[in-house]
Structure 1
């Protein structure tokens, strides 16, 4: 019995020992195989850094406003008798737009003019009598005062009559009528909008840190995402204070709009041009990798048949379009990685493959 138990223990030990030996043997062989393998070079897109001519600018978001634009309102209440314009008509200054019923004012004007005629006749008679010496001076003065009073009454009624005829205060494009023929309207009722679209204003704001770059007459470029509209203009006003809540400075520019494609209230991208700078190091923004430790760029080292990369910390500056200025860290002539950095570590082997970027550009 003891002999059988001893043999079973020996067999069990051999089996367990064999399993443990096989595990360690397998792990050692895998480590040797992996240790002898060389990772394949990582394909990356690259670019040679060359100093460029930098066209700095200040980018902002703006809103378009017509240089002259108003909501036309009723001056004197009454019944709308006639609407003499249609939506989007181009009207001229002084053009008759709306007629409010004015029969009562016309009757009042006729009565005032008649009273003026009577007063003038009385004044002439008083003047004749005074010249003959049979009339009192006070009578003449009273007659002349009545003439002036009647003349003022005529002018007052004429003003009320003119208020019934609504005209365009300036040349422009009129909007959709907000009233109807036969409608009773009160003073102040908006009946249409009138916009002069030949010249447009653009209001925008820039951070207070960039105030020093703002000058009256400075060149600006505006672009709309609608209909690919773009135009150049100039700064005409800078608010002489900084908004305490946003820390922004309000700026107004003016641009020509002869085609009338730009409308009031549109969203615009604004760029203020600044003086051109030469020999600036700028790289594609895709070349920069940002982390908690700072901003880095992978720079190629070695010959073409044995290229590696070095992760270099850089100091960044201004942005313009798809490029960003590098103040410190790389210099002209360096070859940098512009895409594919997510698979790289410092010292990794790489191979240049710029065909990927070319295909992507063609695909767009």
Structure 2
């Protein structure tokens, strides 16, 4: 038995050797499919969002200019009013009586003036023939001047009484939206001071006050001087509402303070926005988006393609001409929409990986495909594949 086993051993060894020669080579993984976007060079608008508050262009306090009892309110609270529109009515009876009294005083003064003038005319004849003394004539002339002054005083009193009677009808000093009435019918107004009765605010156009650092302000003025922005400040100011939506009307920068706040290093600025629908209300919080500069031929890359490391350093995966992946460190400046402005590390036309970062190892070969956004693909009735 042992001799026969040794006889079969060469045959078994030969069979095993034959099996090793027929074994299949190890399988190689195909290149991973990744999507890419080409690095673009474009004109970008560098902006900065700054907190601000909405403020009315004009605010008018409606006050009682004459004392009296309030008879009626003639406006709807919260409505838009026009300049000159009647708002309140104060009891005019005492004021009418005061005007009638002033008119009577004028009539009396006019009669006194006529009598004094007649006496003075008669004395002028008598003094020439020495029938009266010169002193009596001078007194007659002084009486005429006194009577004339009394007439002027009475006329001024009539004018004052007429003004007060007109003030019994309280009108709007400006166009705008009026708030709630601060007094009610039957109230005594204007007795000791000019009682505040309502407030009117002009809402179209409207102001937005905000602050900006002195450094950014210098850069902004430099861009204006170099012609990189509109000289009148138009179309460089936009507004973001409290819910994050952008206000449809562009604003115009008006002015800045002449000094810098020593504690914060900030400068106060004001922008003006059209507000035809009265969407913006005084006191509302908003963010002002100010254009700092316009740059031509800026290298941009989607934020989704950039990976941030420790210290905020950025990196992207670049696909070379042989479809191999390279890790590239980049330096970014500001965000413009959903893109980063790249100042160092990339050039226009290079392909950066958008989706499939986990499959794309540096040095590995990949199968690149142009990136198609999910929004664009859904508009075509298709769903973009997830390559992440």
- Structure 1 gap ranges (5+): 1-35
Which runs of 5 or more residues in structure 2 are unaligned? 1-25, 125-136, 225-230, 384-388
2:233 corresponds to: 218
From 78, 82, 90, give the equivalent of 2:80: 90
Q: TM-score, normalised by structure 1?
A: 0.76
Residue number in structure 2 paired with 1:10: none
Match of 1:177 among 177, 181, 187: 181
Equivalent residue, structure 1, for 2:121 = 131
> Partner of 1:55: helix, strand, or coil?
strand
Does structure 1 retain, via aligned residues, the 8 Å contact 2:177–2:203? yes
String of CA shifts for 1:86-106, please: whole Å, max 9, x gaps: 124333222221112232222
Counterpart of 2:61? 71
Segments of 4+ in structure 1 off by > 4 A?
A: 36-45, 339-357, 359-363
Alignment of 1:188-203 (within 5 A): 188-203=194-209
**Are residues 1:109 and 2:99 paired?**
yes
> How has the CA–CA distance of structure 1 residues 224 and 58 changed in structure 2, closer, same or farther, with 3 Å as cutoff?
closer
Correspondence 1:47 to 2:37 = yes
Establish whether residue 209 from structure 1 lines up as the match of residue 215 from structure 2.
Answer: yes
Matched, 1:331 2:342: no
C-alpha separation between the residues in 2 aligned to 1:41 and 1:86?
74
Cα shift readout 1:306-329 (whole Å, capped 9, x = no counterpart): 63341x222221222222211111
Deviation at 1:147, TM superposition (A): 1.9
C-alpha distance in 2 between matches for 1:333 and 1:245: 47
2:150 to 143, 146, 152: 146
- Taking a change above 3 Å as real, the CA distance of residues 282 and 120 of structure 1, as seen in their structure-2 partners, is same
Q: Could you tell me the TM-score, scaled by structure 2's length?
A: 0.71
- State how 1:315-326 maps to structure 2 within 5 Å: 315-326=331-342
* Equivalent residue pairs, number: 327
Instruction: Report the CA distance shift for 1:348/1:185 in structure 2 as closer, same or farther (over 3 A).
Output: farther
Residue by residue over 1:113-165, the C-alpha shift from the partner in whole angstroms, topping out at 9 and shown as x without a partner, is: 21121011111221122122276112112212222332333334344434332
Residue range with higher mean Cα deviation, 112-121 or 228-237: 228-237
* Residue of structure 2 in register with 1:32 after alignment: none
Which residue of 2 is the match for residue 237 of structure 1? 255
- SS of corresponding position for 2:182: coil
In structure 2, relative to structure 1, the CA distance for the partners of 1:44 and 1:114 (3 Å cut) is farther
SS class of match (1:70): strand
Contact 2:179–2:200 under 8 Å retained in 1: yes
Please give the root-mean-square deviation of Cα atoms over the aligned residues, in Å: 3.4
